Structure 1
Amino acid sequence: MGHTTIQAPIPSGFGPHTTAREALGNRNLEGIVAIVTGGYSGIGLETSRVLAEAGATVIVPARTPDKAKAAVAGIPRLELETLDLMDPDSIDNFADRFLAAGRPLDILINSAGIMAAPLMRDARGYESQFATNHLGHFQLTARLWPALLQAKSARVVAVSSRGHRLGGVDLDDPNFDRRTYDKWKAYGQSKSANVLFAVELDKRGSAQGVRAFAAHPGLVMTDLSRHLSEEETGRPKQINDEQEKPAPDPEADQFKTVEQGAATSVWCATSDQLDGMGGVYCEDVDISEAVPADSEKGTGVRPWAIDPDIAQRLWELSEKLVGVKFTI
């Protein structure tokens, strides 16, 4: 266990048009317990539905469960719970309730997220995109660790984005206390943090049967875009570092359906093609290729998101910021 998985396509035989159901195949998930944050809207909702319809018990934590009720109506074996990723006490309370039930946790998909939000801070003063997309999920995973170990063979999926190419994590000023706030830099940082989290979690957990993956869903129009202007959403190339440069890879700029967007997360969480692997960034239902920092490709993972040294330093910083240590 614990050997390094190469950051390169397997290849899986799947692709950008594969749906979550196709990625799952005819796998039976009866007896499997999954938690999907953000599992009541967009890609998360489709992820929850596909897992539940295949037999898994799916717990979906929501800030406002009443609101989420209508969205998940009719999905079998789905349980709504309360959780606010911006509120550390809420994360602890959710984890305590889950652990008290004594269930193992086979699959944790950290799918909730915000994108390009104006500058907001959580109760601790942490920048909202870093706090929600990374730190909240870091704390949640740390607190659920006993249940992941109990599963004997668990997978954690950090839903990232190709937005990670907008920049790495500034370990000296992750919360924009000193540098000028830029909503896209902050988004890129939080998505790079997601990948680095999967890298380090896999390194630490693989010997105990917990493997971790980072997944880029693809470009999907969901509620995630709620902070963007019409001009921004009308241009998928907004995520290009320099907007005036046409994307050299038109295929990478194709919008996906929600069914296609959920495919990579579901594949990372369930596929036996990934048995014995982990710590890699995946997209289009395969392990992604590693590309150089100056790559103009729409696809591929950038070096700052998979650097093991940065991953370890971010981990230690995150433990300090959330005040929770992983008991690995």
Structure 2
Amino acid sequence: MISPISPDQTPIGSGFGPATTAAEAVRGIDLRGRVAVVTGGYSGIGLETTRALAEAGATVIVPARDRIRAAAVLAGLDRVELEALDLADAVSVAAFARRFCQSGRPLSILVNSAGIMATPLHRDADGREGQFATNHLGHFRLTLALWRALRAAGREAGGARVVSVSSRGHQIAGIDFDDLDFERRPYDKWIAYGQSKTANALFAVALDRRGREHGVRAFSLHPGQILTELSRHLSAEEIAAFDALDAEGRPRIDPSRGMKTVAQGAATSVWCATSPRLDGLGGVYCEDCDVAPVHDTATGRRGVHPWAADDALAERLWSVSETLTGVSLP
């Protein structure tokens, strides 16, 4: 049974829309003196998020598994620092967070943007299904390990925000708490992806409840349909089925249908991380630089499915995540 959804899960009329770019979303906002961490910040929408936050004045730390590649991509960007991190490795996550917290810097913005999609079945070192382990558990470990720095920023003007990049793919599947790791049911790469993206949204709900009294607010979002390296595991036939390419084989751009440029795809991440319109709000799922409505199948695919905005499910996922990772908030 689905619990009542927060009344805050209602569009606020932000003045932006599907075609807004990351640079437009942060225009006029001064982030000088603030520190951000952007996972996946050296490719796709993560790179555009990094660029927009840095150009607004923030110091942006980009943790990367492939530091050589990341250094080449980020070369020339001011106020961007590169660090080592493998989200699928609990030891690597803890080491990165320890180094950051020991620096003594408050963390104003954490954008959990890294992710994988529709991969063949693989498991992490603990036997967890790979998409759930990377997209959710890795970011769960990271956020909790950075909690001290987030709380330090929460005491300052503007507070702190944690932004989790979910997807409209969350509508594919909720959380199967009885078989999270596909040990009894047949593996389906899209069901697994949908489950991990629902987890991203529920994580924001539960984290916001714990963070709001400390000035730490959490959001999740759908960036849009953008052809990036995220689609590297899809076949040509699967990409064609999404109608993602035009007759010349180029990515189709139609923001009104959710088909965006990378700069447009990063806009909602940046808006969630910085917009003063979200002051006093949290735990909500956003799209097109606005709080999204609740999904209604009669009106298309827009909005958040109730199973990804349910308080009770969010609390259950939080408890399960603590058990699976062995970490919890202080």
How far, CA to CA, are the matches of 2:7 and 2:40 in structure 1? 28
| AA in 1 matched with 2:131 | Q
How far, CA to CA, are the matches of 1:284 and 1:143 in structure 2? 30
Residue 255 of structure 1 deviates from its aligned partner by 1.3
| 1:9 matched residue in structure 2 | 11
Alignment of 1:1-328 (within 5 A): 6-152=8-154, 153-236=159-242, 253-292=257-296, 294-295=297-298, 297-327=300-330
TM-score of the pair, normalised by structure 2: 0.92
Residue by residue, what CA displacement relative to the aligned partner does 1:270-303 show, whole Å, maximum 9, x if unpaired?
A: 00000000000000000000024x5561211101
| AA in 1 matched with 2:310 | D
SS of 2:60's partner is strand
Aligned residues: 312
How far, CA to CA, are the matches of 1:237 and 1:209 in structure 2? 42
Residue 236 of structure 1 deviates from its aligned partner by 2.3
| AA in 2 matched with 1:38 | G
Q: Tell me, yes or no, if the aligned pair for 2:14 and 2:277 is still in contact at 8 Å.
A: yes
How far, CA to CA, are the matches of 1:45 and 1:302 in structure 2? 28
- Percentage of identical aligned residues: 62
Moved more, 106-115 or 175-184: 175-184
For structure 2, the residue ranges without an aligned partner over 5 or more in a row are: 1-5, 245-253
Residue 251 of structure 1 deviates from its aligned partner by 6.3
Residue 237 of structure 1 deviates from its aligned partner by 6.2
Residue 234 of structure 1 deviates from its aligned partner by 2.2
Q: 1:189 to 1:11 in 2, by over 3 A?
A: same
| AA in 2 matched with 1:324 | V
How far, CA to CA, are the matches of 2:241 and 2:53 in structure 1? 32
Q: Tell me, yes or no, if the aligned pair for 2:21 and 2:265 is still in contact at 8 Å.
A: yes
How far, CA to CA, are the matches of 1:84 and 1:129 in structure 2? 14
SS of 2:316's partner is helix
SS of 1:30's partner is coil
Q: Tell me, yes or no, if the aligned pair for 1:57 and 1:77 is still in contact at 8 Å.
A: yes
Q: Tell me, yes or no, if the aligned pair for 2:19 and 2:255 is still in contact at 8 Å.
A: no
Cα-Cα RMSD: 1.4
How far, CA to CA, are the matches of 2:299 and 2:140 in structure 1? 30
Q: Tell me, yes or no, if the aligned pair for 1:148 and 1:210 is still in contact at 8 Å.
A: yes
SS of 1:95's partner is helix
Residue 177 of structure 1 deviates from its aligned partner by 1.4
SS of 1:265's partner is helix
How far, CA to CA, are the matches of 1:182 and 1:303 in structure 2? 22
TM-score of the pair, normalised by structure 1: 0.93
How far, CA to CA, are the matches of 1:295 and 1:160 in structure 2? 22
Residue 326 of structure 1 deviates from its aligned partner by 1.3
Residue 254 of structure 1 deviates from its aligned partner by 4.0
For structure 1, the residue ranges without an aligned partner over 5 or more in a row are: 239-249
